[in-house]
Every structure is written in structure tokens, then in C-alpha cells.
Amino acid sequence: MSMAYTPNEMMTIAAARALRNEDVCFVGIGAPSAACNLARLTHAPKITLIYESGTIATKPNVLPLSIGDGELCDTALTTVSVPEMFRYWLQGGRMTVGFLGGAQIDRFANLNTTVVGDYHKPKVRLPGGGGAPEIATNCREIFIIMAMGKRAFVEKLPFITSMGHGPTGRERRALGVASKGPTRLITDLCVFEPDAETQEMTVVSIHPGATREQIIENCGWTPTFAASVAETRAPDAIELEVLRDIQARTKAAHGG
Amino acid sequence: MAKFLDLACAVEEMVHDGDVLAMEGFTHLIPFAAGHEIIRQKRRDLTLIRMTPDLIYDQMIGMGCASKLIFSWGGNPGVGSTHRIRDAVENQWPRPLAIEEHSHAAMANAYEAGAANLPFAMLRGYIGVDLPKVNPQIRKITCPYTGEELATVPAIRPDVGIVHALRADREGNVLLEGITGCQKEVVLASKRTIVTVEEVVDDLKASSPNSVILPSWVIGAVVVVPGGSHPSYAHGYYTRDNSFYIAWDKVSRERDSFLAWMEENVMTKGPDDFAVHAGGRAAS
């Protein structure tokens, strides 16, 4: 049986599958939030989702447009202040996973959401780091979701907003950061995981219909493929239905 | 004790040209009515502090109120750019804007340090990133007990702090519930404070003994502005106007459409015009 779905849906579904019932997940807004809630509504109903606005164990019925929509507070177990969130819960080491997106990424999964061009004379000024710099080092591991493209997957970042494995893949360990950093990068074409030796993000699974050529074309560095590359399991009917339902509810609720 | 003032008088008395001003509210309870009043009174050379500048600072910066912005995430949440802030940073329009950029964790800690009357905040942060290279205010300290190196940032001690809260009682004690962000810390860290509220009631009817209540004697002025945080929201009163946030992208993209919107919706309006956004009373 074949089912029509978009690359973006495949990406969100593959990202959701990475999460486990027992995870305590610090959720970034946008694509990470969709993936995290899809996980909660399918295979991981007991997952604890936490947003930086202070909402703990939230179960939104529609995806929040911002990180602090009332929906997050209304459906949370409890809501704490923002200083408490960053001090006790994030820095306190309570998160098993941080789920991030970004504007640009390099082969060692360092992220840029700050600026393109010179910091003081920017070509493009992006929003900045928000919670990401500390999420990246204080969560036990990091998942990243980003659609591929040469402007997004770059050889060298103009600015490191949050650290993956460091500019050469060695800095994270050298700095003595105890958490694992990015262990999975889910894109619209494939899934990357860090090589055990070099920490370079390496293609371990290709989505159905996507090709190695497409991945190479849409990557600003020459990507490495694992010795054995799997085919990502296609979305099943339930995953697609739940994802489309929450997106339809969200669209209706935001009036966009 | 807090004075009950109208918004124009409160801004006139508390907010001066050149002040360091923090207007907080993390998505929730953003004090838009107060921001509009500051724009109408044409305050200049403000140093604006907010974790998420949001549309309120997009509007104030686009109208020329600020010479500096201290922030940690400067976008239109879930929508895209804050175009007026970008125009100020990239093209110096309508005037140059210096920026001092942090992470959320650092700013939250810095507000807390301000409230705690400490000179600086300390965190396990900024590890392996570029922000400390462009922001000399981000420094390091060595733990005297373990030798661990930790990041520091100066405490935030604004001249003026402005927040929106749910309601005040007749004494001027103020209640916040829901996502409370850094509002408590801002009020306690600031030299002068304005709190705008949805309504004044005989009994605050806090839903828990642990609700956030700011006593009247830590507040400078309480101002009643129903609907005063629209298009942000007030927990139990009205919800976030997400469609406004989406529509702002188009309004703010060009200077002309932005100025026309500000003329029609801010310069020729007043605080009472926010009342149409106020929901039903939550307390009764």
C-alpha cells in the first residue's frame, strides 16, 4: 500500500519516532513542537514536554504559535517562572532531550540562528539564540530537525549560536561538557547521526523516494554516508492522520 | 504604596528620555498599552530591555524611541522576523540601534540577580558559542569551591520596569497567574515601576496561596487598562491574538505601511481603545 505524503510530513514523523515515552523533552518552537506533540499523540503518550515559558508536562490540543501560548499553560501539570525554568529544570539537569531547529547547521551539528555576514554589519539579522545555547549543553542529548538546502546546510557557519560537537567535532569533549550533544539530525530527505570517532553527522537512513544525489545536492559540505544506510520506514496511516489533524486544528485556531 | 494613576500621567512621571527601561511579559501579559503611550509621548534614547522584544519593541524601535536594545531572542514568534528591529539594526532606520545580545538563560538569571540586589548573575552557559566574542559583558568566574569555570552577566537594574498583570485590589496589590515569565523579578529589580492591570477588584481571588502577588509597597503606579496587553493575552480574560501576530508580518515589512498603521492605531488612539480586546471578567 502506498500513501501520498510530503517530505515535510516524513521529516516530522521521523523526528517524532526518535522520542521515547520516558523522555523529558525541552521543546523548541515550530518544527520541533510539531514532532514532540506527534510523539505524545502516537507512540509516547507519557512523554513529558516542557517549553521555556515555564510550562511543565504540557499537552496542547493545538500547536502553539509562540513558546508561551495560553494553551501550553492551560494544559500543563504546572507552570513555573522563566528564571526557575532555566535554573532548576534546564541547568538542574532534568531534561533527557532538547529538541531544536535552526537556520543554519554545519557537519558537526553546530547551529546558527543569530546572523548571516559580519555580526556588527549583518547581511541578515536572524532572531538570535533564545534558549538554545544552554539547551544545547544542559540536556542529556539533542535532536535537531531541519529541512535540507545549501543555504541551511553550510560548510562553515558565520556564527555559532549553539554548540553541537564544536567547529572541528572535538571541542565539545575538550571543553568537558558531560552531555552527549546532537545525537540525531532529522531532515526532509534523511536522518544523520554522529560518527562515533569523528562526531561528523553521517547519513544513516534515507527516506523512501529520496536519493543520495539529492542529499549531496542539498548539502553545503560533502556528506558522509554510513557503511550501512537504511531506508526510513514510510509514514503509516495513523501517524499521518494524527499529524494532519493537529495541524488542521492549529490552523483553525490561529486564524492564519 | 502604589498610586493609582491614568496611563498618560504614569508614563509622564516614571519614564524619561535616556532611561533604561524593561517591559516584560513572556508571550503572556506584554504591556502593549504602556508601550503605545511611550510612543505617543515621544520618549527618546531609551535603552530597552526584554528577553523577547516581540511586536511591542518592534513598534517602539520603529517609532524611534530607543537607541539601544538588550535582548535574547528577537523575532515574531512562530511567524518570522521583527522587521522594524531588523531595519534599525541593518539600515539604522529610523535611527541607529546598538544591541547587547544574550541568551534567555543569562537574561533570566540577570533579572533574578537584579531582584536579589546582587551585582552579577552566574550560570553554566555560553559554552562553545560565539556570543561572548561579540558581547564583552559576558565574562567568566571560577568557582572558589570546585574550580569550575562559569559564565557571568551583569545584573539587570532598570530605571523603570513596566509589566501588565491580571488585577489589582483597592490597595494596589497586584495578582499574576499563568505564565509569569520574569515579571516579578523585573518589578523587584527596577527603581521605578508601572503595573497595568485588567481591572480593580475588592478581593484578588487568587486561585492558590502560591499565586504571584506583588504587594502595593513594591509598586510605583498601578494603572487600569482593560485589554492592555492585546495582542498578547491575559490568562482567564482573553487569549493571544495569533492572527494579529501573523498579520503584523505584512504591516511591518515596509516603512510606509508600518507608519500608516501606527498613525491610525496608536498616535490617534488612547488607552481606552484597548477595552474592545478585554474579555469577560475572570475574578467574579
User: Angle, to 10 degrees, between the axis of helix A7-17 and the axis of helix A31-41?
Assistant: 60
Share of chain A above pLDDT 70, in %: 98
Q: What share of chain B is helix, strand, coil (3-state, %, to 5)?
A: 35, 25, 40
For chain A, the residue count is: 256
A134, B103: Cβ pair inside 8 Å? yes
Q: For each of the domains in chain B, give its residue range(s) and CATH number, in order of start.
A: 3-102+157-277 (3.40.1080.10)
Give the per-residue pLDDT at B280: 59
Q: Tell me what ipTM this predicted complex has.
A: 0.96
Share of chain A above pLDDT 90, in %: 91
> Which residues in chain B have their CB less than 8 angstroms from residue A127's CB?
73-75, 81-82
For an interface test with A, which of B50, B242, B244 has the most A Cβ atoms less than 10 Å from its Cβ? B242
Give the per-residue pLDDT at A74: 95
Q: How far apart are CA B211 and CA A86, in angstroms?
A: 20
Nearest by Cα to B34 from B178, B195, B189, B172 = B195
Give me the number of domains chain A comprises. Answer: 1
Give the per-residue pLDDT at A254: 82
The alpha carbon dihedral of A120, A124, A125, A130 has a sign of negative
Is pTM beyond 0.90 here? yes
Measured between CB atoms, does A163 come within 8 Å of chain B?
Answer: yes
Q: Which amino acid is at B43?
A: R
Measured between CB atoms, does B57 come within 8 Å of chain A?
Answer: no
Measured between CB atoms, does B150 come within 8 Å of chain A?
Answer: no
Is residue A124 a part of any domain in this protein? yes
A199: domain range? 7-254
Q: What's the burial of A31, exposed, middle or buried (CB within 10 Å: 0-12/13-18/19+)?
A: buried
Banded pLDDT at A29 (limits 50, 70, 90) = confident
Answer whether residue A256 shows pLDDT above 90: no
Measured between CB atoms, does A156 come within 8 Å of chain B?
Answer: no
Query: For B267, which DSSP code?
Result: I
Q: Alpha-carbon dihedral of residues B92, B31, B25, B13, nearest 10 degrees?
A: 80
* Mean pLDDT, all residues of chain A: 96
Q: What is the mean pLDDT of residues A33-41?
A: 97
Answer whether residue A2 shows pLDDT above 90: no
Nearest by Cα to B212 from B238, B186, B174, B162 = B174
Give the per-residue pLDDT at A65: 87
Give the per-residue pLDDT at B284: 40
- Pick from B81, B108, B127: which is nearest to A175 by CB? B127
Q: How far is B9 from chain A (nearest CA, A)?
A: 30
Q: Alpha-carbon dihedral of residues B222, B223, B226, B228, nearest 10 degrees?
A: -100
A120, B127: Cβ pair inside 8 Å? no
Q: Could you tell me the mean pLDDT of each successive run of 10 residues in chain B, 284 residues long?
A: 97 98 97 98 98 98 98 93 94 96 98 98 98 98 97 98 98 97 98 98 95 97 98 96 96 98 98 90 46
Is residue A2 a part of any domain in this protein? no
Give the per-residue pLDDT at A207: 98
What's the CATH number where A228 sits?
Answer: 3.40.1080.10
Is A52 one of the annotated active-site residues of the chain?
Answer: yes
Is residue A102 a part of any domain in this protein? yes
> Which residues in chain B have their CB less than 8 angstroms from residue A161's CB?
129-131
Q: Which amino acid is at B169?
A: D
B109, A87: Cβ pair inside 8 Å? yes
